[in-house]
Each structure stands twice: as C-alpha cells, then as structure tokens.
Amino acid sequence: MNSKKPVLALILPAFNEDEALLKTVTKLRQIKMDLIERQKVNAASFILIVDDGSKDDTYEIMTRLYESSQDIRTVKLSRNFGHQNALMAGLKEAIKVSDLTITLDADLQDNPDVISQMVECYLEGKDIVYAVRSNRESDSWFKKNSANAFYRVASWLGVELIPNHADFRLMSKRAVEALLKLPERNLFLRAMVPRVGFPSDTVSYVRSKRQAGESKYPLKKMLSFAVDGITSFSVKPLQLLFYLGILISSVAGIEITYTLLEKAFGDPTAGWSSLMISIWLLGGLNLTAFGIIGTYIGKIFTETKRRPLFFIEEEHIETKSTQRFQV
Ligand code: UDP
Ligand code: MG
C-alpha cells in the first residue's frame, strides 16, 4: 500500500505544440490542484514538458511557464527523437524527483478527467494504470479502422497489447525503474510496459478531438510505427514466411508432376501465361520475404549500435524554491 502522499509527475511530450500547450497546461493544473486539495497527492506534484526538438515556439512557451510558476519542469531534447523517445526521456528525468508518473499527449486528446481515477487505482496499490479508449468517434474513419486492424493483426501475431491503449498511462516509481532497465533501442512502449509486470488496472475514457495544431503522425510515420511495433515483439512473420515457402514449393511440385504426366500421355501445351504468372508470383514472394527478413536484420543492426535514446540540451527538473513545498 502507498501510505505517504506521493509526488505526481504529469509528463507531456511536445513536438511543435505551441498552439495547444497553454490550454493543456491550464487544464492539467486544475486537475492537479484538485488532487492536492483532496489530499491525494503531494503539493510538490508537477507537470513536466519534454520539448522533442520543436521548430515553433513550444520551447519559448515552456520557458515562460517555468519562469512564472512553481509547478512546471522542462526538458529540451537536442533534436527531434520521436514521440516514444521523448516519453522515455520524460519518464527517466521525472522519476528522479517523483513517486508516480502519468504520460499523456500535449493536445488534450487523452482526456485528463480520468487522471483522478487513475490516481485512485494507484492509491489502492496498482503500479500501472492503462487508460483505454472506450470510443474513437473523434478519430477519422481511416484512423479508427486502421487502428482496429493493427490491434487485430498484432494480437494474431502474438504481440501482447492492451486493446485501444496507447501511451496514456500511470506508472509507479518501481514500474518506471523496471521499464528503464529494458535495453531495447526500438521503443514501442505500449508493448514494453506490459512486459514489466506488477499489479495493473485499466480505466476507460472517450478520446477527444485534437484541441489545436495538427497531428504529428502522418500516414507514413503511423505505418512505420505499426511495422516497428510488430517486428519488435513478434518473430511470427518469419515463421509464416517459412510455411508460405513450403506451400509455394508444393504448388510447384504439383505443377512439375502435371507437366511430366502431360508429356508422357499427351501433347504438352505451350504454357506462356503460366510461366509468366509463376515468375511474377515467385519474384514477388521472394521480395516480400527479403523485405521481412531485412526488417528484422535492420532491427538487429540498430540494437547492436546501442545508440543513446536521446540527448538533453537543457533541463529544469528541480524545484526552484524547495522551501515552498515542504510537506
Ligand atoms: N510527439 C513528439 N514527437 C514526435 C511526434 C509527436 O513528442 O516526433 C508528441 C506530440 O506533440 C503529442 C504526442 O506526441 O503530444 C502525440 O502526437 P499526435 O497528437 O500528433 O499524434 P496523434 O494523436 O495524431 O496520433
Ligand atoms: Mg494527438
């Protein structure tokens, strides 16, 4: 049981979010103040914004917020490292000065109203609380259906995922510390976190529309994220390839037997079209197979390089005046 009032860190990764940031911080502050007033969390709880190499005024806004208030912490990454790495940077830095973390998008799509419910679960002894989208009405038809297809394919291929959960989650200190021990460089947090174990729970929320600005996940980025997620957690595509190879070879075996029989007992027909189909089909399958194997080899390549996940250019992680928040 968690008896002492815990310091909560609300972590926002932000990439070109100057239009949405102020609104999000204002909303999160209300939620945080309410939790402090109801004696659920420590008065030293804070909001940590991670600037993931923004090109707009995100960092200026963050700095102004930090200078004018006590409850804002900032981390500026040296360039754009991507959403997952920005989340990891936020978790790693925040956990140094907090007891529990909640990560959520900077555009208010992850409804902050469920935060207090998540904190309740933590206070009841859960280490991880997954926020799950109960409905995706606000997403476009394409996003909704592609996401559903992704969760279905991923689970069929053996990737353990909480359906309709992305990166809106609460994690206790020990869960974050365990996560930080996972050595991989290709991050797919929604599949990595369930591997950590510990008691967990889910809460559901309705995903709202982005409050301002545009999505930072265009189709190309979304597709590569999906392929990355699956190939980081499942070798089933490689096994399927093997079975597909056997299947195709047996078709070729039937073809050979048929041709031999035709030759022995009749007039062999000039099979131009079947020849062409075979060439194209096998060529295509070969390329697909190489592509799948190449994806895994690429992963081995990036993992063996052991490059750091991010570099911090500047950070303000400590409280400015510690006396103010003595509890
Ligand atoms: N984000 C980030 N780095 C990136 C892309 C996105 O830190 O390279 C942040 C972004 O600012 C937002 C969150 O990740 O807070 C989710 O991005 P977005 O809302 O654009 O994704 P969508 O909701 O459209 O899937
Ligand atoms: Mg969004």
DSSP state, residue 200:
E
**Which of 10-14, 96-100, 267-271 is predicted least confidently?**
267-271
Give the largest CA-CA distance in the chain. Answer: 98
Quick one: which of 210, 195, 184, 140 has its CA closest to 162? 195
Q: Which of 50, 107, 150, 208 to mutate to test the pocket of ligand 1 (most atoms within 8 A of CB)?
A: 107
The answer to whether the CB of 81 falls within 8 A of the CB of 187 is: no
pLDDT higher than 50, residue 279: yes
Tell me the C-alpha distance between 91 and 100, whole Å: 10
Q: Evaluate whether 46 touches 73 at the Cβ level (below 8 Å).
A: yes
> 56: closest CA among 221, 218, 213?
213
CA–centroid distance, residue 147 to ligand 2 (Å)? 14
Among residues of the chain, what percentage have pLDDT more than 90? 48
Cα(305) to ligand 2 centroid in Å equals 31
pLDDT at 123 over 90: yes
Least confident of 15-19, 79-83, 268-272: 268-272
Residue (of 68, 5, 7, 1) closest to 39 by Cα position: 5
More confident residue, 8 or 319: 8
Shortest-distance ligand to the CA of residue 109: 2
Q: Between 286 and 276, where is the model more confident?
A: 286
Nearest to 205 by CA among 105, 104, 110, 107: 110
Please report which ligand is nearest the Cα atom of 226.
Answer: 1
Average pLDDT over residues 205-221: 81
* Ligand 1: nearest atom to the Cα of 14: 11
CB-based pocket (< 6 A), ligand 1: 13-15, 17, 52, 80, 82-83, 86, 105-107, 109, 210, 215-217
- Residue 226 token pair: 């999906």
pLDDT at 272 over 80: no
| Token code pair at residue 92 | 């790693």
Please indicate whether residue 172 or residue 140 has the higher confidence score (pLDDT).
Answer: 172
Helix (H, G, I), strand (E, B) or coil at 134: strand
CA of 41 to the centre of ligand 1 (A): 27
Tell me the C-alpha to C-alpha distance, in Å, between residue 286 and each of 241, 289, 293: 10, 5, 11
Ligand 1: nearest atom to the Cα of 12 = 15
pTM summary value: 0.79
- CA-nearest residue for atom 2, ligand 1, is 83
Work out the number of other CB atoms within 10 angstroms of the CB of residue 169. Answer: 26
Distance from the CA of 87 to the center of ligand 1, in angstroms? Answer: 10
Strand residue runs (E) in 148-250: 165-172, 200-206
Which of 17, 58, 216 should be mutated for ligand 1, with most atoms under 8 A from CB?
A: 216
Contact 309, 81 (CB under 8 A): yes
Q: Give the 3-state DSSP-derived string for 170-195, with helices as H, strands as E and coil as C.
A: EEEHHHHHHHHHCCCCCCCHHHHHHH
243 vs 119, residue with greater confidence = 119
Q: Which ligand is nearest to the CA of 105?
A: 1
Q: Is the pLDDT of residue 326 over 60?
A: no
Cα of 17 from ligand 1 centre, angstroms: 9
Atom 19 of ligand 1: nearest residue by CA position? 215
Look at residue 227 and tell me whether its pLDDT is greater than 90.
no
